[in-house]
């Protein structure tokens, strides 16, 4: 679907009818589309759909409620000059998965992330950094308020 199809009166009417019958509607996402348009109508990211389904169908466990948790994830890049840098192959996937799990269990999660293309998990506060010094500064800025780091 693209933004024109999503915004069409018939589509909006049908979505309203489904919602009035109690159906849960997730999406759409918004952004650039295959046709070149920008706006609502994109499918939600599959990992976002999984997170939403897990949150919807599993009984909420709030055993981490009232805890502040900070997680670091992803690589850092140390510039050698304006063009080159040294980095590592960290994908950040493990840190993002831990952040998502903690947030689902009620924690107030801060995720300090190096440059990755992963979507931010729902209910997670993400701080993007590039270098190790930026990561250290981001951690030091709020580590005193964390229960778990």
Q: Is residue 138 part of a domain?
A: yes
pLDDT in tens, 80-129: 999 999 999 999 999 999 999 999 899 999 999 999 999 999 999 999 99
My answer on whether 132 and 92 are in the same domain is yes
Q: Are residues 75 and 141 in the same domain?
A: yes
Structural domains counted in the chain: 2
In a domain, 63, yes or no: no
The answer to whether 92 touches 114, Cβ cutoff 8 Å, is: yes
Q: According to the model, what pLDDT value does residue 1 have?
A: 85
So what's the pLDDT on residue 55? 79
Angle at 47 between CA 93 and CA 38, to 5 degrees: 110
Residue 5: the pLDDT is 93
72 assigned to some structural domain: yes
Residue 51 lies in a domain: no
Q: What is the pLDDT of residues 16-37, one digit of tens each?
A: 999 999 999 998 999 888 888 9
Q: Write down the pLDDT at residue 56.
A: 82
Answer whether 69's CB lies under 8 Å from 102's CB.
Answer: yes
Domain hosting 132: range is 68-145
Q: Name the catalytic one among 17, 19, 35, 54.
A: 35
Same domain as 141, residue 73:
yes
Nearest to 98 by CA among 128, 129, 64: 64
Residues 129 and 95 in one domain: yes
| pLDDT of res. 68 | 98
Residues 22 and 85 grouped into a single domain: no
Query: What is the DSSP track for 98-145?
Result: HHHHHHHTT-EEEEEE-S--PPPPTTEEEEE--SHHHHHHHHHHHGGG
pLDDT of residue 97: 96
Annotated active-site residue 15? The verdict is no
Chain segment 38-77, per-residue pLDDT in tens: 999 999 989 889 888 887 887 678 899 999 999 999 999 9
Together in a domain, 76 and 137: yes
């Amino acid at each position: 679907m693209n933004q024109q199809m999503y915004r069409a009166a018939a589509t909006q009417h049908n979505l309203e009818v489904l919602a009035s019958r109690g159906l849960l509607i997730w999406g759409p996402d918004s952004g650039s589309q295959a046709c070149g348009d920008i706006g609502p109508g994109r499918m939600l990211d599959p990992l976002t759909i999984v997170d939403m389904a897990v949150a919807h169908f599993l009984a909420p466990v709030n055993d981490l409620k009232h805890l502040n948790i900070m997680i670091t994830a992803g690589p850092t890049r140390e510039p050698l000059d304006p063009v080159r840098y040294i980095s590592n192959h960290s994908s950040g996937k493990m840190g993002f998965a831990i952040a998502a799990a903690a947030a689902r269990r009620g924690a107030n999660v801060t995720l300090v992330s190096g440059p990755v293309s992963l979507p931010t998990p729902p209910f997670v506060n993400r701080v993007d950094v590039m270098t190790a010094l930026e990561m250290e500064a981001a951690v030091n800025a709020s580590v005193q308020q964390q229960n778990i780091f």
